[in-house]
Every structure is written in structure tokens, then in C-alpha cells.
Chains A and B, each alone.
Chain A
Amino acid sequence: MTRHQRFEIRIAGFGGQGVVTIGRILGTAFSVYGGQNSVNTQSYGPESRGGACRSEVVVSEGDINYPYVRNADVLIALSQVALDTYIGELKEGGILVFDPDAVTRIPPAGGYLRYAVPTVALAHETGDLKYQNAVALGALYALIRNRIEEAPLVKALRQSVPPKTINTNMAAFDKGKRYVQSHFSREA
């Protein structure tokens, strides 16, 4: 009974930042267009706005039994509370993407590969705060290119957002991707 490697991504913030949508898009990209198994789950406080909210995607070549993150390879933190809550479960040397305008305190230990991406500012540049999650998705893609191609992600993104916002979402995705590519050296 072979046991396959798991690749675990966690996105956290507060309700209304599109955290859940990122998870759904990633899962669709991996499992419908990317040929891998994935499980996407989400937590939600009773607060639908302003409360703790996280979305996770566990990816594997084989079956995925335990559906939740055990030892996250990637954490995207869009608020300080989110970082404080989940930084402890990010793998030693894991990838940490955060919004420097929202997240100001990061514990020194952990050896994380840190990527400060101003998702709120870049979203406003694209036209509206609601594109913050597409920016974050683009930034994430630039950091996990060895795990997934761009085409499945783009297909999943287009399929998961209201039709009239597809172009702006794509623009936001590109903004996030290019920001990472330009601000962080290639081998990061």
C-alpha cells in the first residue's frame, strides 16, 4: 500500500477577502485540469465577515485520506490574526506569503521563505479590493510553478468567477505573479 507525498497549501485571512474562493480555484486547477487528486476544505467562524476564515488544499498523486493540512508547505496570510493562528503549522522552511500592510509581526524562528506581497494595494491598482484573492493566487503560482502549470490555474480561475469580472481577475492574477517574479530572485 504505497503512501504518496502530500503537498499542503493553507490560505487564511478574515471573511470577505476571498480566501475560500482561492482554495476552490486551486482545487479545481489541480484536480479537474491538473490531473492530480486534491481536497479543498474551509473553516468559517459564525462570523461571515471580519471573522477568522481559512481554506486549505491538500494535493497528492495518490489517494488523499486525511483531508486537512498536517504540515503546511505553503501559508498565505492576509491578516495578522491569520498569521498568528497558523504560522506554527507551517513546515520548517515552508513558503510564507503575506500582505505587509496587514501582517506586521512575524516570529523570527521557522526558517520560512518569506514573500511580502501587498495584495490589498495591488488589488486596488487593479480596480477593487475584491480582486485581492486573484492577486494572491497569481503570487502563489509564481512560487509553486514546479507543482502546477499556469493553464490549469487560469482555466479554473475563469470558471470560478462571475463572467463580467474574468478580465479584471486575470489582470489581478498577472499583477500578483509579476510582482513575485520581479521582487524575488528566480531561485527563491
Chain B
Amino acid sequence: MSNNEILKPGVYYLQGAQACFEGAIMAGCRVYAGYPITPATEIMEHAAHRLPRLGGRFIQMEDEISSASVLVGASWAGAKAMTATSSPGFSLMQEVISFAIMTETPLVIVDVQRPGPGQGYITTGQEDVMQARWGHHGEGSIIALSPASVQDMFEFTIEAFNLAERWRTPVLVMAEETVAHMRERLIVPPLDTIPIVNRTKPQDMGIASEHYLPYGHAQVPPMATWGEGYNINHVSLVHHEDGNVTRYSPTVHVENVARIHRKIEGNVDAIARIETRELEGCRHVLICYGSVSRTGIEAVLEARAERGIPIGFIRLHTLWPFPEKQLRDLLPDVDVIFVPEMNLGMMAHPIMEALRDRCRRMVSIPSLGSLHSPEMILARIYEELQ
């Protein structure tokens, strides 16, 4: 990557949206297809400006369905591809996400969440976190990351591409309007310190085209690229390892879909990341994700400093696959778990399920359309504990 258009190591002051696509560039993304939607349009506009300078191609499609479909074709033809949308567009992309799960197609979708349902509003929100997991039809699982800063928008987008390539799956970056529009310092490290993962190809494993099984060889099958003579047939009907869809049987069905499911849900420790602060000796804990974690830590630090309340802080960097075991290992026993979310309580459910026998009770702190203020969270903490 000697191209001098790539961001040089140093200090920048960028909007989250710009940092996001600069991360994509670092990861090797050279195809972007998107459609205008507030509050994600800035990412597309940055891609339109940057890609042709890097030997990449940008296209504005007629809607979100076609935008996501472009990513599938680009990925099959060997490119790292990405789009960014917001909640209404994310809904439209669900069928393509389902398709990408079954065909095990690496691609990245950034969802700059806004309130719903319907037009909802154009400010911030976290109301798509369940749609991210369950929005696509059918079984299968998904990887979804939750950035909380401009630096995260850069790093998590790189991570998203690496995970997509490593696990041959679509990966979602569940951003929020807060973090996409915020401007903050971005520190770009020396390029050789940024890990870049590329999909394993049959050639890398010495597999000749006549022996190639597009959905075989390993839990994460090597992926052939169109135009390299491997005669790969991408199919999303239930299929054998060689892509055969005619010799259906229930066992083939289970093996096919269960493998794709296990590929993600069986490797949570390798995929999911959690951040913790002030956990030692805490009687209570606040669990949050995304930009709410910025208010969360402010409130936790103030509650500890001002009133000496023994409350710890956990931030989920990864929403899906849900890090249940990791959470349980962290929390042997607490009194109250506070879960502030910019929705009416969504991640609260898997959190509650994971820690049902590890706490007295859980308090969900909802906020719709705007980031919780520290006062809002502190008020609930003091009310519940005093």
C-alpha cells in the first residue's frame, strides 16, 4: 500500500463518518455502494471523494437493496466492499444480509442508527441492535461491533473487514448518529502496525479447482474468486459442501446451516471483546455499549468519586455474537446491574439471561432519540441505591 493517498500516520481531527471510511481504506476496501440517508450520508460522500483516488470504485445505487447487492457481487469478484446506511435502509438490507450469511460472503455494513420505527427521527439511537441479530430471515448468526468514538469508527471498521475476511461472513458496524457526526482526535498509527486479514483462498491451501469445495475443507471454507478458474457456484439454497443443491436431505440441511451458525457462535472468545473499568470489589455494575458508554463511564466515575458508590463499568465492544460466558466470568455476584440504552431495553434481555443468577435485579435506563445525560443515569443510580 504505497499509494500516497492513504492516510499517513499522525494526528487528525475528523468526523466519525470520515474516520470510518478511512479505516475501510486501511483495511483494503476498494468498492463502496450506497444510497443517501440521514445521518449516514457523510460516510458515502467521503467514499465518493476518496475511492477513485485509490484505484477503487464508488457507486451511488438507486436504493439500499441494490447497494447491499453490489457488495455481494464485488466480494465474489475478489474485492473488499462496504456500504453505510441508517436504520430505515438497514431494514431494507436484511434480505441481502441473510443471503450473505448463507453464501458466507465477506462484506461490511455500517448502520448509523437513528430512532424508529418508521421515519422516527434523524438523531441518535440504538434501536437496531436486535434487528442486527434477528433482522435477517432464517437461522445463522452475525458479527456486530459497537463503536463509541471517532478512533473506534476507524479501528472497528478495520476490525470489521478483518472479521469478515477471517470468518467469511457479513459484519455489521452498529454505529450511531452521535458517533458518526462527532468530531474528535484520530490517531493513525504506523501502517505496518495495523493488522490486515485477507480471506483464505483455495490457492493458499494448495487446493486445485477440481478438488475445490466452496463450502468445505474447514469450518471457515476457503473462498475462490471469480475469474480465477475455480468454477465456484455461489448458492444460498441449502447445499452440500460442493455447492450441490439437488441432493437435499435433512442431515445435509442441519450440517450446512449448523456449521454456518457454529462458525460464529462457537468462536465467541476469538471474536467478541469486552472492556471493563473499576470492577474490583464492585457491588453494582453498569453495562453499556456504543456512545452511551461515554455517559456511562462519566456517571460511574462521578458516583464513585462523589458518593463512594462501589459500582463498576462494563462496555460491550461486540454485540453479536453475544459474549455470555465472558460476562459470567467477570461477574460472580453483584446486587444491581444498570443497563442504559438508547432504546426501551434490548441488549438488557441477553444481559439479563446471561447474569440472571448473578445479580439481585437489573435496572434498564432507556433514552430515545438522544444520548443519556450523566445526570439522567446518576439519578437512577442514586434512586435505586440510596
Q: Which residues of A contact B (CB under 8 A)?
A: 1, 3, 23-24, 27-28, 31-32, 37-43, 46, 64-68, 70
How many residues of chain B get a CB closer than 8 Å to chain A's CBs? 27
B373 touching A66 by the CB < 8 A rule? yes
Top 8 closest pairs, chain A to chain B, by CB: A40-B183, A65-B298, A66-B298, A28-B13, A31-B185, A65-B294, A32-B13, A65-B297
Chain A residue at minimal CB-CB distance from B370: A68
Determine how close the nearest CB of chain A comes to the CB of B362; give it in whole angstroms. 23
- Identify which of A3, A39, A67 gathers the most chain B CB atoms within 10 Å of its CB: A67
Determine how close the nearest CB of chain B comes to the CB of A95; give it in whole angstroms. 22
24 contacts between A and B (CB under 8 A): A1-B277, A3-B301, A3-B302, A31-B184, A32-B11, A32-B12, A32-B185, A38-B184, A38-B185, A39-B182, A40-B13, A40-B184, A41-B181, A41-B182, A42-B181, A46-B38, A46-B122, A65-B297, A65-B298, A66-B371, A66-B374, A67-B182, A67-B291, A68-B373
Q: Which residues of B contact A (CB under 8 A)?
A: 11-13, 38, 122-123, 178, 181-185, 277-278, 291, 294-295, 297-298, 301-302, 304-305, 371, 373-375
Determine how close the nearest CB of chain A comes to the CB of B136; give it in whole angstroms. 30
B278 touching A67 by the CB < 8 A rule? no
User: In the complex, given contacts A3-B305, A67-B294, A68-B371, what are 8 additional A-B residue pairs having Cβ atoms less than 8 angstroms apart?
Assistant: A1-B305, A31-B184, A32-B13, A40-B183, A43-B123, A65-B295, A65-B298, A67-B184
Task: Collect the chain B residues with CB atoms within 8 Å of residue A65's CB.
Answer: 294-295, 297-298, 301
Q: A3-B305, A65-B297, A67-B291 are in contact. Are A31 and B13 (CB under 8 A)?
A: yes
Determine how close the nearest CB of chain A comes to the CB of B40; give it in whole angstroms. 14
A70 touching B182 by the CB < 8 A rule? no
Task: Collect the chain A residues with CB atoms within 8 Å of residue B371's CB.
Answer: 66-68
- Identify which of B185, B295, B373 gathers the most chain A CB atoms within 10 Å of its CB: B185
User: In whole angstroms, what is the CA distance A43 to B178 when docked?
Assistant: 10
Q: A40-B182, A70-B374 are in contact. Are A27 and B13 (CB under 8 A)?
A: yes
User: In whole angstroms, what is the CA distance A1 to B291 when docked?
Assistant: 20
Task: Collect the chain B residues with CB atoms within 8 Å of residue A32's CB.
Answer: 11-13, 185
User: In whole angstroms, what is the CA distance A99 to B168 when docked?
Assistant: 57
B183 touching A39 by the CB < 8 A rule? yes
Contact of A24 among B183, B298, B305 (CB under 8 A): B183
Task: Collect the chain B residues with CB atoms within 8 Å of residue A68's CB.
Answer: 371, 373
Task: Collect the chain A residues with CB atoms within 8 Å of residue B12's CB.
Answer: 32
User: In whole angstroms, what is the CA distance A186 to B365 when docked?
Assistant: 48
User: In whole angstroms, what is the CA distance A48 to B375 when docked?
Assistant: 31
Task: Collect the chain B residues with CB atoms within 8 Å of residue A24's CB.
Answer: 13, 183
Determine how close the nearest CB of chain B comes to the CB of A36; give it in whole angstroms. 9
A70 touching B297 by the CB < 8 A rule? no
Determine how close the nearest CB of chain A comes to the CB of B373; give it in whole angstroms. 7
Chain B residue at minimal CB-CB distance from A66: B298
